[in-house]
Chain A
Amino acid sequence: MTAERIDDFPTRQIAGYRVRRGRPFPHGATLVPGGVNFSVFSDGATAMTLVLFERGAAEPMQELPFPPGYRIGSVFTMTVFGLDLESLEYGFRADGPFDPVRGDRFDRNAILADPHALLLSGRDTWGVPPDWSRPYQYRSMIALEDFDWQDDAPLRTPTEDLVIYETHVRGFTRHPSSGVPAPGTYAGLRAKIPYLRELGINCVELMPIFEFDEFDNGRVNPGTGERLHNYWGYNTIGFFAPKAGYAATGAYGMQADEFKALVKDLHKAGIEVLLDVVFNHTAEGNEHGPTISFKGLDNATYYMLTPEGYYYNFSGTGNTVNCNHPVVRDFVLTCLRHWVAEYHVDGFRFDLAAILDRGPDGTPLPNPPLLEQLAYDPILRHTKLIAEAWDAGGLYQVGHFPNYGRWSEWNGKYRDVLRRFLKGDEGTVGELAARVAGSPDLYGGRGPAASVNFITAHDGFTLNDLVSYNDKHNEANGEGNADGANDNNSWNCGVEGPTSDPEVNALRLRQMKNALAILLVSQGVPMLLAGDEAGRTQLGNNNTYCQDNELSWFDWTLVDTSAELLRFARQMIGFRHAHPILREARHPLGVDFSGVGLPDVSWHGVRPWEPDWSPGSRLLAMMRCGRNAAGTKDHVYVAMNSHWEGHDLELPELSGGVWRIFADTGAAAPYDIHEPGTEPMPGHPRRHHIAPRSVVILTGSDD
Chain B
Amino acid sequence: MTVNVSTRTADGVTVARVEGEITSTTAPGVQDRLLPLVGGSGRLLIDFSAVPYVSSAGLRMLLILYRRAEQAQTGVVLGGLSEEVRFVMSATGFLGFFEIADDLGSEMGSVRP
Contacts and interface: CB of A to CB of B under 8 A. Distances in A.
Contacts, number: 56
B24 A85 contact: yes
Interface string B56-94: 110110010000000000000000000000011011111
Nearest to B94: A257
Interface stretch (A166-174, A244-252, A316-324, A621-629): A244-252
A563 interface: no
Given A86-B56, A260-B93, A254 B88 contact: yes
B31 interface: no
B92 A257 contact: yes
A84 B25 contact: yes
A55 B16 CA distance: 31
Nearest to A149: B93
Nearest to B66: A148
Nearest to A247: B91
B90 to A, nearest CB: 7
B57 A248 contact: no
Nearest to A250: B91
B23 interface: yes
B49 interface: no
B55 interface: yes
Contacts of B63: 148
A264 interface: yes
Interface in A165-195: 181-182, 185-187
Contacts of B97: 148
Contacts of A185: 91
Contacts of B24: 84-87
A186 B91 CA distance: 8
Contacts of B87: 181-182, 248
Contacts of A182: 87, 91
A258 interface: yes
A144 B56 contact: yes
A249 B57 contact: no
Interface residues of B, number: 17
A187 B88 CA distance: 10
Interface string A256-296: 01101100110000000000000000000000000000000
Interface in B22-72: 23-25, 55-57, 59-60, 63
Interface in A71-94: 84-87
B63 to A, nearest CB: 6
Interface residues of A, number: 24
A264 B92 contact: no
Interface in B86-107: 87-88, 90-94, 97
Contacts of A87: 24-25
B93 A261 contact: yes
Contacts of A264: 93
Most buried by A among B23, B87, B91, B92: B91
Most buried by B among A144, A185, A247: A144
Contacts of B90: 181, 187
A86 B55 contact: yes
Contacts of B88: 249, 252, 254
Most buried by B among A187, A248, A252, A253: A252
A226 interface: no
A146 B94 CA distance: 12
B57 A144 contact: yes
Nearest to B53: A252
Contacts of B55: 86, 252-253
A258 B92 contact: yes
Most buried by A among B23, B56, B92: B92
A46 to B, nearest CB: 35
A451 to B, nearest CB: 35
A667 B84 CA distance: 52
Nearest to B24: A86
Contacts of A249: 88, 91-92
A185 B24 CA distance: 25
Given A85-B24, A181-B87, A254 B92 contact: yes
Contacts of B94: 257
A494 B97 CA distance: 56
A265 B93 contact: yes
B91 A253 contact: no
A261 B94 CA distance: 8
Contacts of B56: 86, 144, 252-254, 257
Contacts of A146: 60
Contacts of A265: 93
A87 B55 CA distance: 11
Nearest to B25: A84
A681 to B, nearest CB: 49
Most buried by B among A247, A257, A258, A265: A257
Contacts of A144: 56-57, 60
Contacts of A148: 63, 97
A412 B25 CA distance: 53
A85 B60 CA distance: 13
Nearest to A248: B91
A248 B60 CA distance: 18
A146 B92 CA distance: 13
A248 B63 CA distance: 21
Contacts of A254: 56, 59, 88, 91-92
Given A260-B93, A261-B91, 20 more contacts: A84-B24, A85-B57, A86-B23, A86-B25, A86-B55, A144-B57, A148-B97, A181-B90, A182-B91, A248-B91, A249-B88, A249-B91, A252-B88, A254-B59, A254-B88, A254-B91, A258-B91, A261-B93, A264-B93, A265-B93
18 contacts: A84-B24, A86-B23, A86-B57, A87-B24, A144-B56, A144-B57, A146-B60, A185-B91, A186-B91, A247-B91, A248-B87, A252-B55, A254-B56, A254-B88, A257-B93, A258-B92, A261-B92, A261-B93
Interface of B: 23-25, 55-57, 59-60, 63, 87-88, 90-94, 97
7 closest A-B pairs by beta carbon, nearest first, are: A261-B93, A257-B92, A187-B91, A86-B24, A248-B91, A249-B91, A258-B92
